[in-house]
Amino acid sequence: MGVPALVMLTLGLWGLDRGGMWRDEAVSFQVGRRTVPQIWRLLHGVDAVHGLYYLLLHAVLAVHPGEVVLRLPSVLAAAGTAALVAALGTRLVRPRVGLWAGLLYAVTPMAGHYAQEGRSYALVAAGATGATLLFVRAVRDGSWWPYGAVLGLTCWLHEFAVLLLLAHAVSLALARAGARVWRGWGCAAAAVVLALLPMVVVSRRQAAQLAWLRTPTADTAQGLLRRFLGPTDSVFWVCLGLGAVGLVTLVGRRGEVTCAGVAVPMAVVPPVVLMLASQMSPLYVDRYVLFALSGAPLAVACGAERVAGAVACGAARVGAVTARGAARAGAVVARGAGRPAGAVGRPRPGGRPGRRPLSRAFSVTLTGVLALALSLLHQFPLLQKDREPGSRADDLAAVSRSAARRLGPGDAVLFLPASLRNVALTYPRAFRGTVDVALVTGAAESGTLYGREAGAAELRRRLARLDRVWVVADRRVLAGRAAPADPVERAKAAVLWQQFTGRETTVRGGAAVRLYVRPVSGRTGPPTAPPRPVRS
């Protein structure tokens, strides 16, 4: 357990300070720095599914507010997950299977990616893997309450972790578990679902947050499979082949869960169920099922153990045939020399032959570790690229630096859409002294993520009094490739296009900082500050 945890911790800490946060991390950062009453108020309207995580971050960021500290819980959780995967492999098969599985989890790029994200997904993966270990223990000794408690807490970190219950039900079916085991698991599962009901009720009212999701396709499933097993072809096909070999042990003796019987349902059932449900109402994103990743390295390690066993068996047979041939040859020599037939080649007590099984086991374990080291080396460029600032969907720090070079005290700023105000909330220094044209009430005070803005009519009046305004906007909206659905956002875009002319523009990823100036002939009145200005 210690070696995979150390490898995961090392990879997680490597390049942890990217010098900027992307939009989701920025939300975690600015919400985590609010007071507990402000966080509680926010959860009534948005992001209830992340409420427990925000409260955890509130305590963490109180120590030191910074992006490295923001990501440390995810790094530690990923290291814990690697150790728990190793513990599962050890408990279900043997220590070397645990070692291989834990190391394979640690070097998987998907695990490393979310180990460096200031979001809840790595913690959910740790909780789900810990609950699976407790599930295996409960099947054997009948103690179900620790399993229910850990899985219930994990579901409060993210409600989709409840899909793990279905995976464990499939594992029990494959094990042909008895009525006592089903009864114990059923009571624990019912407790988890009942504890989660308040979260489900609140989050259903906030379902509009997922309106941006799209229906998953066959390509989506194939992409997730590659992320689980390895994004490069050589690693992917080897892991897929070993995982297929591991399916041989999917069903074991009656009443006993096997390694493959736990690993395969864990890796397959939650993503498949969520993808199928998303055909009716889109709910699926890869990160929502990160917790299922733990099953993939277990299945691969299980297959590797089967291959190692087959090779060892073949080698033993060859050795036995060779030994019998040597014995016969020795007997002939002995008879010719007049000595007892058993005198030639007889092993000495405590001699070298007695140590061969231990030496062979060490060689097999070391071979697996070297193969995993080769896998890490092969995927190293992907891991390195993932630690660059531009590896995420956007880089708000880069947008902030661009704005800081251009904005001055008293300048009017417009965010299009309002969610890009996240830049000013996360990196306020660049916007200090500027006037936020649309803002009415700040984010923390209004119990929202980005603050409350003026209505469309009021916004038009405010913009009509300006001769110039700096716009921090989505590039697609400025280019006309995306039409805002919200009427206030449509009003912003319409006024800019109809009454202003775009001048200098700086592009940073998907965002742009552009100066809009009203043509002299199009002035509607003397330039004045917008009414009731709200300073950033």
- State the Cα–Cα distance between residues 462 and 440, nearest whole angstrom: 12
- Percentage of the chain beyond pLDDT 90 is 67
Backbone angles phi, psi at 496, to 5 degrees: -60, -45
Q: Is the pLDDT of residue 524 over 60?
A: no
Give the mean model confidence (pLDDT) for residues 283-303.
95
- Residue pair 386/112 in contact (Cβ under 8 Å)? The answer is yes
User: What is the pLDDT at residue 338?
Assistant: 52
What confidence tens digit (pLDDT) does each residue in 132-178 have?
A: 999 999 999 989 999 999 999 999 999 999 999 999 999 999 999 99
Place 510 in a pLDDT band, splitting at 50, 70 and 90.
confident
User: What is the pLDDT at residue 350?
Assistant: 45
Helix (H, G, I), strand (E, B) or coil at 240: helix
Beta strand 412-416 with 435-436 is parallel
Closest CA to 170 of 240, 285, 260, 294: 260
User: What is the pLDDT at residue 415?
Assistant: 95
Domain boundaries, the chain: 2-304, 396-535
What confidence tens digit (pLDDT) does each residue in 86-145 have?
A: 999 999 999 999 999 999 999 999 999 999 999 999 999 999 999 999 999 999 998 999
- State the Cα–Cα distance between residues 402 and 396, nearest whole angstrom: 10
Backbone angles phi, psi at 453, to 5 degrees: -110, 160
User: What is the pLDDT at residue 486?
Assistant: 85
In SS3 terms, 77-100 reads as HHHHHHHHHHHHHHHHCCHHHHHH
Q: Is the pLDDT of residue 433 over 60?
A: yes
Identify the residue with better confidence: 506 or 462: 462
Instruction: Determine the residue type at 148.
Output: G
User: What is the pLDDT at residue 309?
Assistant: 78
What confidence tens digit (pLDDT) does each residue in 198-227 have?
A: 999 998 888 878 878 899 999 999 999 999
